[in-house]
Amino acid sequence: MASTSPTSDARAQFKTLPNRPQAKLPPIPNGSRIQKRPLAGPSPFSRPRINPSSSSSSNLLSTTADPDGYTPPPRATHTTVIKVSSGATFMSLVRRVRKALEKAPSHQTTKGLPLAARIAALKVAKPGTAGSSSSSSRHWGGIIEDALDDVVLVATGRAIEKAVDVGGFFTREKELVVLVRTRTLQAVDDVVAVDEEADVEDQVRVRNVSCVEVGMRWA
């Protein structure tokens, strides 16, 4: 009879991910409640800014890696960051994104131009493309390409679905490029007593929070 014990290859498939905790958080004590803090560390809105039209690597600042090892790219100087809240309506987010896209430099400089002229302008504006002889622009081209978003929606928790819905709405625009990135942030929660006079010791808990970024830019 063949052995049913899992092989080493099968065990490797169930290897714990870097951002997955080894054990679940214990339940909070009776008579306590969780009080959430703002996200610790650098805010997703205060990431380093770069000038995409410059090929100098000095414009690229270091960023802190997420708990899963992902290092988010820096933002462009013109990028508009919109935080999606769980109470925001779909149409209000669409209006905010559309208004920010209309003010984007890439839209203003090529608006009304023929297709050939728009393609030529994009080749000049984006470093690391054919015709660029700078080795630094070739090295940093991928990072700068990710930082060219004109608008970025940032959402966590229940607001993730709304951000994805808005991004899916703008995929119908042929002149827009929509990219979705996932991140993991660490949040700190306080476990406090419901009754201030109760004999319950305050605690601090750290948990991972899923974050989704929906980037949009003119093609």
pLDDT digits (tens, 9 = 90+) for 76-110: 778 888 989 989 999 999 999 999 998 887 666 55
Does residue 214 carry a pLDDT above 90? yes
Mean pLDDT, the chain, rounded, equals 72
In what side-by-side order are the strands of the sheet with 80-83? 32-36, 176-193, 203-218, 151-156, 80-83
Is 156's pLDDT higher than 80?
A: yes
Confidence of residue 129 (pLDDT cuts 50, 70, 90): very low
| Dihedral in degrees, nearest 10, Cα atoms 208, 96, 107, 149 | 0
Total residues found in the chain within this entry: 219
Q: What's the confidence (pLDDT) of residue 94?
A: 96
Structural domains of the chain sorted by starting position, each given as residue range(s) with its CATH number in brackets: 29-56+66-218 (3.30.110.20)
Structure tokens at 189: 């929660």
Give residue 149's pLDDT: 83
Tokens of 157: 């928790």
- As a whole number, mean pLDDT of residues 167-188 equals 90
Q: Mean pLDDT, to the nearest integer, of 196-212?
A: 83
Q: Is the pLDDT of residue 130 over 50?
A: no
Is pLDDT at 157 greater than 70 in this prediction? yes
pLDDT digits over 10-35, tens only?
A: 555 555 555 555 667 888 888 888 88
pLDDT of residue 133: 43
Tell how strand 203-218 and strand 176-193 pair up. antiparallel
The tokens for 186 are 């660490």
